[in-house]
């Protein structure tokens, strides 16, 4: 009997090297969420936590955009808290593994490296692309076209799940094959503008203001400044003759009417060019003064 037990133990020992888990290493590997659990011998647990973190982070991003309050800043911490909790759990289970822990088939350095590279090169970029195309995307603003609502150096969030309505700020996207002579874009073929008129509306811009279906709009967001350089758009496009907005199109104006790049130059914007509703300033960095504009963090945009 004792010989059978001994042979079983020896056979078991031959299947893999006995090597205790190091909790601090599990903690460090958890910088890539789930990899610490992989190292600690809980591969399935690590996969589950990674997927759960992605889903919860997306949900937190959606909640951040939906809550019209600075309280929404709490949701910004969700991914970081999630990573910390996952790391602590990996530390705990590695610490609780017995000293005679036998390495499993997935406890190999090259597998850890392969998993890390797969997440860094394929899975994470894919998840980011899915989220950016369908949930939320961030943009760094480099022009004064929406000043003072949106400032240069703001990082704004675009809600991809909501189509903007009249008076909302919209992201306008242009493809590489677009034949328009575009300049002054927000980098890479995007610009921002406020939806003023939808299909069927008659829009007009004159010295008195902006009119939709014969009624002058109240525009507290509109900004008219004295041109400081030649070629300011206000000099060229202070008027837009009464015109009906075509089907599936929009008339869009920038808040900065002097330097904004909008339907006064581009004409009506097709529906398929609208990439989402601009909802919030994520944060803002003052490059001239070298500090964050904390008062603009999580600022809801109207």
The pLDDT tens digits of the residues spanning 234-266 come to 555 567 889 999 999 999 999 988 877 889 888
Give the pairing type, strands 202-206 and 209-212. Answer: antiparallel
Mean pLDDT of the region 133-160: 86
How far is C-alpha 83 from the geometric centre of its chain's CA atoms? Answer: 18
CB-CB contact of 277 with 159 (8 Å):
yes
Q: Are residues 185 and 294 in the same domain?
A: yes
Q: Where are the alpha helices (DSSP H) in the chain?
A: 2-14, 23-29, 35-40, 43-66, 73-76, 78-96, 109-118, 124-134, 233-236, 263-266
Q: Are residues 147 and 296 in the same domain?
A: yes
How far is C-alpha 298 from the geometric centre of its chain's CA atoms? Answer: 13
Which burial class, exposed, middle or buried, applies to 198 when counting CB atoms under 10 A from its CB (0-12, 13-18, 19+)? middle
Which burial class, exposed, middle or buried, applies to 145 when counting CB atoms under 10 A from its CB (0-12, 13-18, 19+)? buried
Q: Are residues 224 and 76 in the same domain?
A: no
| Distance, CA of 261 to CA of 144 (rounded, Å) | 10
Q: Are residues 69 and 118 in the same domain?
A: yes
Domain end (from 101, 134, 167):
134
82-91, 169-178, 270-279: which is most confident: 82-91
CB-CB contact of 196 with 251 (8 Å):
yes
The pLDDT tens digits of the residues spanning 37-86 come to 999 999 999 999 999 999 998 888 888 887 877 788 888 889 999 999 99
Q: Are residues 274 and 162 in the same domain?
A: yes
Domain end (from 134, 155, 183):
134
| Distance, CA of 258 to CA of 147 (rounded, Å) | 10
Q: Are residues 106 and 53 in the same domain?
A: yes
Q: Are residues 107 and 164 in the same domain?
A: no
Q: Are residues 179 and 278 in the same domain?
A: yes
The DSSP H or E segment spanning 280 is strand 274-286
Number of domains the chain is built from:
2
CATH of the domain at 238: 2.10.109.10
Q: Are residues 107 and 253 in the same domain?
A: no
Q: Are residues 156 and 272 in the same domain?
A: yes
Residue 67 domain boundaries: 2-134
Domain end (from 118, 134, 150):
134
The pLDDT tens digits of the residues spanning 162-193 come to 899 999 999 998 765 554 444 444 444 788 99
Q: Are residues 125 and 175 in the same domain?
A: no
């Amino acid at each position: 009997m004792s010989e059978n037990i001994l042979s079983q133990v020896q056979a078991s020992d031959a299947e893999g090297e006995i090597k205790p888990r190091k909790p601090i290493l599990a903690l460090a590997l958890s910088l890539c969420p789930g990899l610490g659990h992989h190292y600690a011998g809980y591969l399935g647990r690590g996969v589950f936590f990674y997927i759960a973190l992605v889903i919860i982070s997306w949900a937190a991003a959606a909640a951040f955009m939906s809550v019209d309050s600075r309280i929404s800043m709490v949701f910004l911490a969700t991914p970081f808290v999630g990573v910390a909790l996952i790391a602590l759990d990996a530390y705990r289970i590695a610490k609780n593994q017995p000293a005679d822990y036998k390495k499993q088939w997935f406890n190999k350095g090259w597998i850890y490296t392969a998993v890390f590279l797969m997440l860094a090169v394929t899975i994470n970029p894919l998840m980011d692309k899915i989220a950016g195309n369908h949930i939320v995307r961030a943009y760094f603003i480099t022009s004064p076209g929406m000043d003072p609502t949106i400032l240069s150096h703001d990082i704004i969030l675009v809600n991809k799940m909501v189509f903007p309505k009249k008076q909302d700020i919209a992201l306008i996207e242009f493809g590489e094959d677009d034949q328009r002579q575009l300049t002054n874009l927000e980098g890479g073929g995007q610009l921002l503008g406020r939806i003023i008129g939808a299909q069927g509306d008659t829009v007009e811009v004159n010295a008195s203001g902006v009119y939709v279906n014969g009624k002058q709009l109240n525009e507290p967001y509109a900004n008219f400044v004295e041109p400081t350089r030649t070629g300011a758009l206000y000099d060229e496009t202070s008027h837009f003759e009464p015109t009906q907005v075509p089907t599936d199109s929009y008339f869009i104006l920038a808040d900065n009417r002097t330097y904004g790049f909008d339907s006064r130059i581009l004409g009506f914007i097709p529906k398929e060019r609208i990439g989402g509703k601009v909802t919030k300033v994520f944060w803002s960095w003052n490059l001239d003064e070298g500090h964050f504009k904390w008062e603009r963090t999580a600022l809801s945009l109207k």
